[in-house]
Amino acid sequence: MSMRDFMGWGRLTAASVAALLAVAPPALAADQMADQSAVESMFDIAFGVDLTSDYISRGYTQTDHNPAVQPWVELDYGIFYAGYWGSNTDLSTIGGNWEHDLSIGVRPEVGPFSFDFGYVRYLYDTGDCCGELYALASVNPVDPLTLGAAVYYDPDAASTYVEGNASFDLPHDISVSAAVGSWDGEFSWNAGASWSPLDWLSADLRYYGGAEANRVVFTLSVESSLSALRGN
């Protein structure tokens, strides 16, 4: 290689390096922005509050048939979540005036099936109560119909609650649903209809049957999320 060729190649290499250095920062910044956008798309916070005429769980009233206010919030990252749900209570067996439910879990999807596996801890004003492992599954065999099943297990008390449920979507943002459950052999059930005129607002009218139920309950729910507020 002659000196002229060497110097020409050197100038070309220097120019190429300079061009790469000039392009690299914007490209790196674009990659960083893409990574940040991907993380933000996986992260969300959902929140809401339910106003119900009676807090009934597994056939038993938790408020002595009085109304309840039930706020909740959930932190989501991909299929992982951690949540809080609360409600005023009136329970002579436990005492206290408020229930705090803390949950953590994962919601994978496999084909047409949606799953929810996790653990929930029940706390009251008077202290810790108990906790349950749970597994939920649902599937849409046909478009308007959803079938589901749930199992809750308390390892401390060796107590199990199992449930089968179904919902059917109707026109005008109305759906009907029903569930039948067994808590260590004691049965309870509910059936009703929900109306969701807005994305953040729904109303539910439902009949509950069970040991302390056997009544109609009305629930008004308001909910949203950061992604909804951002318009994602």
Which CATH number characterizes residue 88's domain? Answer: 2.40.160.40
Residue 107 lies in a domain: yes
Query: Is residue 57 included in any domain, yes or no?
Result: yes
> Which pLDDT score is estimated for 96?
78
When pLDDT is cut at 50, 70 and 90, the band that residue 6 belongs to is very low
191 DSSP β-pair partners: 178, 207
User: What gap in Å lies between CA 227 and CA 45, rounded to an integer?
Assistant: 8
Bridge partners for 128 per DSSP: 123
Please tell me the predicted confidence (pLDDT) of residue 180: 98
The confidence score (pLDDT) of residue 108 equals 98
Residues 6 or more apart in contact with residue 15 via CB below 8 angstroms:
none
pLDDT of res. 93: 78
pLDDT of residue 232: 72
For the chain, how many structural domains are there in total? Answer: 1
pLDDT digits (tens, 9 = 90+) for 10-60: 333 444 434 433 444 555 555 655 555 555 679 999 999 999 999 999 999
Q: Phi and psi at residue 230, in whole multiples of 5°?
A: -80, -10
177 in a structural domain: yes
Position 62 in a domain: yes
Strand (E) or helix (H) holding 3: helix 3-42
User: Is 157 within the bounds of a domain?
Assistant: yes
Flag whether pLDDT at 69 surpasses 60.
yes
- Token pair, residue 193, equals 């209809």
What is the mean pLDDT of the segment spanning 70-76?
A: 98
Residue-wise pLDDT for 162-212, tens only, equals 999 999 999 999 999 999 999 999 999 999 999 999 999 999 999 999 998
Q: Do 74 and 83 form a contact (C-beta atoms < 8 A)?
A: yes
Which residue in the block uniquely carries the two structure tokens 């960083």? Answer: 32
Residue 143 forms part of a structural domain: yes
125 falls within a domain: yes
Taking the model in full, what pTM does it have? 0.82
- The answer as to whether 128 is a domain residue is yes
Residue 217 domain boundaries? 43-230
Give tens-digit pLDDT for 113-157: 999 999 999 999 888 889 999 999 999 999 999 999 999 999 999
**What are the beta bridge partners of residue 61?**
56
Q: What is the pLDDT of residue 8?
A: 40
